[in-house]
Structure formats: structure tokens, C-alpha cells
Amino acid sequence: MPSAEADVEELAGRSAVEGAAMEITVNRQDLVKELTATQSVVERKTTIPILSNFLLEADEDRLHITATDLDQAIRTSAQVKVKKPGACTIPARKLYDYVKLLPDGDISIKLLENHWVQIRSGRSNTKMVGMARANYPQVPEFPTVAATSISLASLRTLIARTIFAISNEESRYTLNGALLVLKAESMAMVATDGHRLSFVEKPGETLEGISGEKRVLIPRKALQELQVLLANSEAEKVEFADDEHTLFFRVGHRTLSSRKLTGQFPNFEAVMPRDNTKFAVVRSSELYAAIQRVAQFADERSGAIRMKLEDNELKVSANSTESGESEDTIDTPYSSEAITVGFNSVYILDFLKALDNAGEVRLEFKDAQSAGQMRPEDPDAEFKYRYVLMPMRI
């Protein structure tokens, strides 16, 4: 009876033969498109050299391309002519930069001995030093069950309106991502860095396979990758699934998998202001322009500006000993008692940018010490969007 060692040796021998056999022909434009979609995940400065490589796997009539940094991975594929199926790994940056410089037409990729890879195109002939396929980390597969379909356009809006509010402080681990909240009839996303909170909800979104409420924390880097995948896809739906440790997003023929963020996201419902009774409505573009001008004269470190509401006017002002002072006035219906609140100008600009400076915004205040709230002034809006800002002492 053959030993387990003999089995392993036979398997290793077989996979080496399979690996050594790989030979394909691929259209340059198709290859560049897929390499572009995956190369951002590749680790630039890694202590594990294999993570700087793409994994290429050819079978039947497709070339599968994988990139991973261990926290997340992107898998994509392109239609190719497979002369001999097999797999290899190639330095990602080098391959991407080289293929971009080749003329349009067919490229042949062939695995040689010692993991070298030959790339031919027209009269160009290049050999790159690869690494053993066996050393490439295992990338989790998309689960076969419990997937739900999400509208691509809705998910794109959710990310765009929250990603900027994610915390940059590594120590605040659970704030280094956004919380996705899925229900049978709605989806929402929320992010906070402790100074501001961005919450956006899309009601009337039917999600099959979701009963009750499902909450998952998506790391910022995964959201950034997802943004790029969504922007470059013509698909209408994103398939979403997860298991104990990993999140999966399938966008057309590309799949992003990411390690879940663990831990308890703050109770964001408790932060939402309930009694901000003083409010003003202004045009987003007007407010954006005024803050941009005034912020030139804000303290460089804090970026603090004042917003003062009185007598049908919103005054936006800033001053610093180094640069001087500036004030802009915007007309707006307001007859309640005067109120002055300080905010970080960058935080307000981030919110207005997420709205594309379109339409009107409603600014809601309680007093100078309480959180302010901003939201689009549009009762028929497709998305419910609320932005909560902690005030600054000025």
C-alpha cells in the first residue's frame, strides 16, 4: 500500500507538470482591463514576496487572475485561447507596466522552467522571473449559499456618502470601516470617526434572503476597492455573501473578498439629534463656495469656522492671527433667536461634496454645545441622508 508521503510526492510531481505546461494567448486590451482591476490590491512593500505577484490560472477558455494582500483579494478572468492549462505567478507591477506598453494584438504567455514566464507580442519577447504557484496563499471562494443581490447603483451611493467619515486612527479599530445594515425592505450604511457621523439609508430596496436585520463591518480599504469595481462595471446587481471571517462582493465576473472587521460598532442611533429646532435651508453650491473662501483664513490646525444664524442670514466666518479674517453672508429665511456654532470646515465640505453640491441643504442646530445635523432638503429624495457634526469651541 503506497505511503502518504508517496501520494504527496506524486501530487507534487503532477502539479509541477501541470504548472510547467501553461501556455495561453490573450488579447492585450482584455488583459490590461483585468490587470487594471486587480493591481491595486497587490502589496507594494511586503515582507512576503509572493504577495507582490499575480496568480494566473488557465483552464478551458479562461484565464483567472488573482491578487491578494491577505486581508483582501480580487479575482477576475478574461477569455483566452488555452493551449495548455496550468498556473503561474508573475510580479504584478512589472507585468502590468510591461503589458500596458505593448501594442494592441495578441500576447502569448508561457510558463518555462524554474517558474520563469515568457511573454511574446509581435516582435517583443520577454522573460520574467516568477515564483512557485504552490507558495501562493489560498484565497477564499465565494460561498455557494446565502447570497443576496444588492442594487449596484444604491451601493455606490451608500459608499460615496459615508466613506469620507471613516476614522483614520488605527487604534479605533471598529471605526476603521463602515457598517452596512441590510433588512428585507431597506439597506443603510453608517460611518463615524468620533467627530462626525454619516448615515444614509435606501428604503424600498427589496433584499431577498435577508430576514430580520444583518449588520456587517466593511473595512475602508475594501470599500475603496469596491468603489473602483462598481465604477467600472455595467452590471446592475452586486451579489453579496459572507461567512464567519470573510465578506464577498461579486460584481459581474469580478469578486472582491475581504476580511471582516470585528468588534462592536458604536450605537449610532443614540447619537442622532432629536431636538435640533433651529434650522436654515441654503443652496449647497452657495454654502460650499462661501466655506471654501472663508476657510482660507481659518486656523490651519483646526480648520474651524463659525456659522451664525440671525435675521434671515447665515454668516460664515473665520479668523487667525497668521492670515487675517473673512466673512461671507448667505440670505436664508430665519427668525428664531440668534445662534453661533463652530465647526471643522473640512467636515462640512466633505458632506457637500458627497451631494455633488446639488440642491439645497437643511442645517439644524440646538445650541452652541450640541451636535449639529445636516441633510438634503428634498422630501422626495430616493435616499435618506443625515450628517451629524460635533461642534468646536471657538
**What gap in Å lies between CA 148 and CA 238, rounded to an integer?**
8
Nine-digit cell string for 268: 449610532
**Whole-angstrom Cα distance, residue 71 to residue 154?**
25
Dihedral of CA 327/331/336/195: which sign?
Answer: negative
Q: Give CATH 3.10.150.10 domain extents, the chain.
A: 11-135, 148-267, 272-389
Tell me the per-residue pLDDT of 230-250, one tens digit each, with 9 for 90 and over. Answer: 999 999 999 999 998 999 999
Q: Which positions of the chain have pLDDT values less than 50?
A: 1-19
Superfamily of domain 148-267: DNA Polymerase III, subunit A, domain 2 (3.10.150.10)
Q: Per-residue DSSP letters for 81-144? A: EEEE-EEEEEEHHHHHHHHHHSPSSEEEEEE-GGGEEEEEETTEEEEEE-B-GGGSPPPPPPPS
Please give the CATH superfamily to which domain 11-135 belongs: DNA Polymerase III, subunit A, domain 2 (3.10.150.10)
**Inter-residue contact 130 to 122 (CB < 8 Å):** no
Nearest to 200 by CA among 246, 164, 226, 239: 164
Query: What is the pLDDT at residue 313?
Result: 97
Q: H or E stretch including 20?
A: helix 4-21
- Contacts of 131 by beta carbon, 8 Å cutoff, 6+ apart: 49, 50, 53, 89, 115
Q: Is the entire prediction scored with pTM above 0.75? A: yes
Strands 148-151 and 177-183: unpaired
What is the spatial distance between Cα 317 and Cα 296, in angstroms, rounded to a whole number? 10
pLDDT tens column, 293-306: 999 999 989 999 99
pLDDT at 7: 41
pLDDT tens per residue, range 341-391: 999 999 999 999 999 999 999 999 999 999 999 999 998 889 999 999 999
d(CA 166, CA 223): 11
Bridge partners for 181 per DSSP:
188, 215
Q: Cα 193 vs. chain centroid, distance in angstroms?
A: 16
pLDDT attached to residue 262: 85
Pick the CATH number of 272-389 from 1.10.3720.10, 3.10.150.10, 1.10.1060.10, 1.10.10.60: 3.10.150.10
Q: pLDDT averaged over the chain?
A: 91
The angle formed by the CA atoms of residues 363, 368 and 372, to the nearest 5 degrees, is 30
Q: What is the DSSP letter of 392?
A: B
Q: Which amino acid is at 170?
A: E
Cα–Cα distance for residue pair 32/274, rounded to 1 Å: 51
C-alpha torsion 363→369→370→371, nearest 10:
60
